[in-house]
Homo-oligomer: A and B are copies of this chain.
């Protein structure tokens, strides 16, 4: 703070006012912001916690950390928050509304610095606009930033990649219900197919727990003379795609020679491992970077009430693994 004060040529108290969101003159504000840029100054979370009666904990709510996408996301989120002096409280909700609500309540009573959430329940009535919050993938309320990957584009790219690599008998697989981001992913896939006059089939497992049995049954009834009836498969989830891949292997169907598969997320199972499944990559580092930035922004402007925040949509990319030619 002393450095910022010196470079900006304003008093330490004025810098403190700025950091804690109290009003300062526009001209002074500009001087401080330039000084901060010059010094590459990051406000320390602990120092702020002492001043603002808020702790430097950030609540991180996800369905479960036991899945490659969420574990990779959680890893980068914790590292990014730690670099700014925040401690991350991991909260697995198992997608249960009651759990998500309990974590939000906890965040309020603990006076945490903020919340970053991938909530699936309607928690809008629980969050007041004065608690900093960033939503990923699902909208909480219109007052908070929302970061989403371009799910529609991902489905479109998947169909395009399968087509360019010679697949003509396309199949979309998922489990019921295909709603939200899953529906967007299928819509993109569908639109590419329609625009290129390709017919595609869809198989949606009805049992959401034992879906692998549904996949097995479907594969069994779609093998004609030792070959599979489809040569290009897209799933809205790496989990289903990899299950399907291994089931095909058990039936001695050659992947990718005879059947190509593309999943969604392309999260790393191990940080150093090469991707095995070809897949549409969600930009995990970018999601984390923007989420933390949006949280920092709200923390630096505690008195600004934003209304109607537009979603931030991030591009996805195709990652080549072992399941496409």
A: residues with CB less than 8 A from B are 57, 60, 64-68, 70-72, 74-75, 78-79, 82, 87-92, 106, 110, 209, 212, 239, 242-243, 246, 249-250, 268-274, 276, 322
Q: Which of B79, B92, B212, B273 contacts A79 (CB 8 A)?
A: B92
Whole-angstrom CA separation of A276 from B277 in the bound complex: 14
Besides A65-B71, A74-B90, A249-B322, 7 other A-B contacts (C-beta < 8 A): A68-B68, A68-B71, A68-B270, A70-B71, A75-B92, A82-B92, A239-B273
Q: Is the CB of B68 within 8 A of A269?
A: yes
Chain B hits for A212, CB < 8 A? 273-274
Whole-angstrom CA separation of A71 from B97 in the bound complex: 22
Q: Closest residue of chain B to A85, judged by CB?
A: B106
- Give the shortest distance, in Å, between A180 (CB) and chain B (any CB): 19
Chain B hits for A88, CB < 8 A? 89-90
Whole-angstrom CA separation of A273 from B238 in the bound complex: 11
- Give the shortest distance, in Å, between A86 (CB) and chain B (any CB): 10
Q: Tell me which of A91, A246, A270 has the highest count of chain B C-beta atoms within 10 A of its own C-beta.
A: A270
Chain B hits for A276, CB < 8 A? 242, 246
Q: Is the CB of B246 within 8 A of A67?
A: no
Those 4 A-B pairs whose CB atoms lie nearest each other, nearest first = A71-B71, A66-B75, A90-B90, A239-B270
Q: Is the CB of A322 within 8 A of B65?
A: no
Q: Closest residue of chain B to A211, judged by CB?
A: B272
Q: Is the CB of A78 within 8 A of B91?
A: yes
Chain B hits for A65, CB < 8 A? 65, 71, 74-75, 78
- Give the shortest distance, in Å, between A286 (CB) and chain B (any CB): 16
Q: Is the CB of B67 within 8 A of A90?
A: no
Whole-angstrom CA separation of A66 from B78 in the bound complex: 11
- Give the shortest distance, in Å, between A111 (CB) and chain B (any CB): 12
- Give the shortest distance, in Å, between A298 (CB) and chain B (any CB): 22
User: Can you give 22 A-B contacts (C-beta < 8 A)?
Assistant: A57-B57, A57-B89, A65-B74, A65-B75, A66-B68, A66-B71, A66-B74, A68-B71, A68-B269, A68-B270, A71-B71, A71-B74, A74-B90, A87-B89, A88-B89, A88-B90, A89-B90, A242-B276, A246-B322, A249-B249, A250-B322, A269-B269
- Give the shortest distance, in Å, between A196 (CB) and chain B (any CB): 31
Q: Is the CB of A243 within 8 A of B273?
A: yes
Q: Closest residue of chain B to A270, judged by CB?
A: B239
- Give the shortest distance, in Å, between A93 (CB) and chain B (any CB): 10
Q: Is the CB of B66 within 8 A of A90?
A: no
Q: Is the CB of B78 within 8 A of A92?
A: yes
- Give the shortest distance, in Å, between A319 (CB) and chain B (any CB): 15
Q: Closest residue of chain B to A109, judged by CB?
A: B46
Q: Is the CB of A66 within 8 A of B246?
A: no
Chain B hits for A274, CB < 8 A? 212, 243
Whole-angstrom CA separation of A67 from B67 in the bound complex: 9
Q: Is the CB of A268 within 8 A of B66?
A: yes
Chain B hits for A68, CB < 8 A? 66, 68, 71, 269-270
Chain B hits for A273, CB < 8 A? 212, 239, 242-243
